[in-house]
């Protein structure tokens, strides 16, 4: 594979937000087998997964434990809104 050829291995990026930071952080990121492990853990723990290859490519360049870049904020906000709607809960809701 040449240096300018795109990497076709699957990408997975996990985000986390605890309310103490200004933006969500990348908590896990990987390609290939690591991406498959991230997805398997998400599915096993009931974490909602959304497929967005362009956003995953952008976020995969962000170091783990680093806030998402401003360029990705709108797309991540849309995904988080989807997840919160799907879960029927919003940040700050009290635990049942």
Please indicate, yes or no, if residue 3 is contained in any of the structural domains: no
Which pLDDT score, from 0 to 100, does residue 1 have? 43
Query: The CATH number of the domain where 18 resides is what?
Result: 3.40.1690.10
Q: What is the mean pLDDT of the chain?
A: 83
Residue 3's pLDDT is what? 54
For residues 78 and 96, what is the distance between their CA atoms, to the nearest angstrom?
Answer: 25
Lowest mean pLDDT among 16-20, 24-28, 68-72: 16-20
Is 96 inside a domain boundary? no
Residue 86 near residue 48, CB atoms below 8 Å: yes
Q: What is the pLDDT of residues 39-79, one digit of tens each?
A: 999 999 988 888 888 889 989 999 999 999 888 888 888 87
For the chain, the domain total comes to: 1
Q: Is the pLDDT of residue 5 over 80?
A: no
Which residue range(s) make up the domain with 78? 11-87
In a domain, 2, yes or no: no
Q: Does the residue 23 lie in any domain?
A: yes
Give a yes or no: residue 71 inside a domain.
yes
- Which residues partner with 31 through β-bridges? 11
Say which DSSP state 68 is in: P
The pTM score is 0.75
Distance between CA 64 and CA 15 in Å, rounded? 9
- C-alpha closest to that of 56 among 78, 25, 31: 31
Residue 6 lies in a domain: no
Asked, for residue 5, whether it belongs to a domain, the answer is no
Residue 32 lies in a domain: yes
């Amino acid at each position: 594979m040449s240096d300018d050829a795109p990497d076709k291995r699957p990408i997975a990026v996990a985000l986390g937000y605890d309310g103490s930071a200004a933006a969500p952080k990348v908590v896990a990121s990987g390609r290939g087998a690591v991406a498959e492990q991230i997805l398997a853990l998400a599915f096993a723990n009931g974490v909602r997964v959304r497929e967005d290859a362009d956003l995953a490519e952008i976020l995969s360049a962000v170091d783990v434990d680093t806030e998402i870049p401003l360029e990705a904020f709108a797309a991540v906000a849309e995904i988080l809104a989807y997840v919160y709607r799907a879960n029927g809960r919003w940040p700050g809701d009290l635990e049942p």
